[in-house]
Chains A and B, each alone.
Chain A
Amino acid sequence: MMQRRGRSMLAGGVMAVITAVTLSGCALTGGGDAGADGGPIELTLWTHEFAPLQDAMQKKWIPEFEAAHPDVTIKMTSVPLAGAVSYDSKLLSTLSSGAGPDVWDMGSWNFPSFQKQGFLAPIDPSAFGYTDDADLLGAYDPASLAELSYDEKLYGMFSEFDTLATYYNTDVFASAGIPDLPSDKPVSWQEIGEIGSKLRQEENGAVTRTGYQFGFFANFKDAQWYSQNFYTLLRQYGQDDVYIDGKPAGDTEAVRNTLQLFSDFVYKYKAYDPTFLNNWFADVPDGRAAMVSAGTWYAGAALANNPDFRFKVVPNPVVDPDDPATYKDISYFWGWAVNAHADSARQAAAQEFLAFILGKKGETAQADYWFTNLGYLQPSTAYLSSDAFAAAIAKSPYLQTFIDALKNYEVSPPQHVYDEAGAAIVAAIDAVIYNHATAENAAAELQAALQRADG
């Protein structure tokens, strides 16, 4: 009897110990192996979900890096940008807990706050073959460094840097008898709206084609795209941000004009149908939409969806083509970051990995791979002045539109994306495009929301 009791106590004790050990293991593990003792290292790499990026990593860079560095393995995870749990939220929560990936990519909007919160390790110039921070910073176009450098140090490496231009499906234009858009000068948003109106198609009561695709729609409610399209227009109408001198400025003429233009595209021109669009990279290639404003990275993903996609790229529309002061656009960039909480060995391995995939001082082969295969432009002076870059432009002349846009347009990143002001912008645009709100009412609501967020 006593033996049985003892056995049952022992079994219960074992279960308790197993549970405690399992639970503590859950809490403590998270990153890869430590590697601080000089042993093998498993680096955790996170990227946003973008098929060409996953392919590049899994088929080229990770196998090549692991072959060249037998003591380091890379464990890659890709997270949907705007899924049930968005990439940004997942990054923020995991980094806040002191864990998180060793190296990851992220949009420009996260760099200022992540740097402020101490999540980002400074980039080690020596890992990239530079003598010091000044040498590294000097290798890039100064205008491109705004969101990545703090106190003369770089806290991220470029994944891609470009701006937006307009892609259009030439077969759709030809079938509708619409002449090609000029490639040397932007057209006005009003003209795009009118062309989009002609390109809209219906069959038996159902919409079968919409003229223009903004970056956000009912099935893809991503704040990044609301913000990018909003700020493009806002700046063209003469206002830089929804805050002026630190005070909310959501109910201004520029904001009202911006919201009115979204409204016009939906209701006046019927050029943009946010409930019809369904697939970012397939709607234009498959002819369900005719035009889209996108970056250099669009072509690769669009052609993967439809290899027969024929397109041209022209400068992004502006509110007044005759007034160069309205030639404004957002800069679009993503960067690579290294986890400041990782130990020194892991940080060094992460920086070595970035140097391997992005190239060291003077190297341009890596940058050329990213540009020619994914349209990811790294704005290093070495690459922009290289023969490889010239050859890439000669092979894909449409890319020149983006290079010209970086010169001809005043570009800067949108100020508010994944924050309360960004959410207020989303709500204001939604109000005009879905709820038929007037631009005036939506602007007043935006102002009230900004004041609440400010208070």
Chain B
Amino acid sequence: MPDLRTLLTATRGRGRFDWTDWFTYGYLLLGIVLMLAPVLWLVLSSFKTAAALNEFPPRLLPYGPKSVTVPGRSDPAPVFRVKLPDGTTQELAELRRIGIQATMVDPAHPSDEVRVNIRDREPVREFRLATENYTELFGQFQFGRFLWNSVFITVVATLITLLFNAMAAFALSKYRFRGRKVAFLVILATLMIPPTIVLVPNFFVASSLGLLNSPWGVIWPAVATPTGVFLLRQYMLTLPDELIDAARMDHASEWRIFWRIVLPLSAPALAVLAIFSVMWRWNDFLWPLVVLSKTEDFTLQLALNAFQGELTTQWHFLLAMTVLTLLPVTIVFAFLQGYITTGIASSGVK
């Protein structure tokens, strides 16, 4: 008769639950904590008030001062745990305070006022999300401006990327012109030239084209991605040439063939490239840092960098802003995880 341990740890198909299984689940558990906990900690912290963020050691969940509405008063009154002269403690709401004397009242009996020394009381705190970190962002820090800059650059750059890369991919997959192979190789070769090594001359090119301190200075250099051309060309090669020949019979112009036939049929590959491009542009840092030097032109990434470097960092705003910056990417990932991972696995580029 098998003993209980073998029965419990038996796995389907294979024999015993050996050390590799223990290792696997231990590793996964550690991995999930290490990968997700930092992000969760950021999100939890972003809901704490400035005062709560200054506490050390920090609490896990966001807490704020508890307050109640006392009948007959318009403002909510803060609640304190008060040690009464007879030795008992009670939660009372503060009506007013003069010096070290506070006038407190039990919200259930608003007429019985009690005077206490403020040393005999401490504030009561309750679980409360400091959503004002988020709502006040839009008023402070020109946050809306940075958001708009980021969205504008991301959307426009992605649209141009899709158009330019699809045009190039169309030509490289459906025409047999002289120099086609050379053009393809030249485009692919740029994969090996990282932008970090042409930083100085690119700054000059951008400056002579009048692109400094303009979102177009971030957009134009980024739109001719070799990855995109490669991805789209491979896909377009699988589209049957007969479709194009048939359209030519009907006297469709080459542009019309591209716009009306090839582009719609390439939608799956375009979708993958669109996701990539959105991620790339949203997360861009070094080149925007070089091109955009005025605060009002900053993208969210640049604004985050600028504010974290200030002498007195306002962490409650900074954390909320960080969460809002990672939110779009997180949402895209949650819904399109399959697209992203297969796209990366097949092209080897992120």
Q: Verify that A and B bind, or say they do not.
A: no
Interface of B toward A, CB cutoff 8 Å: none
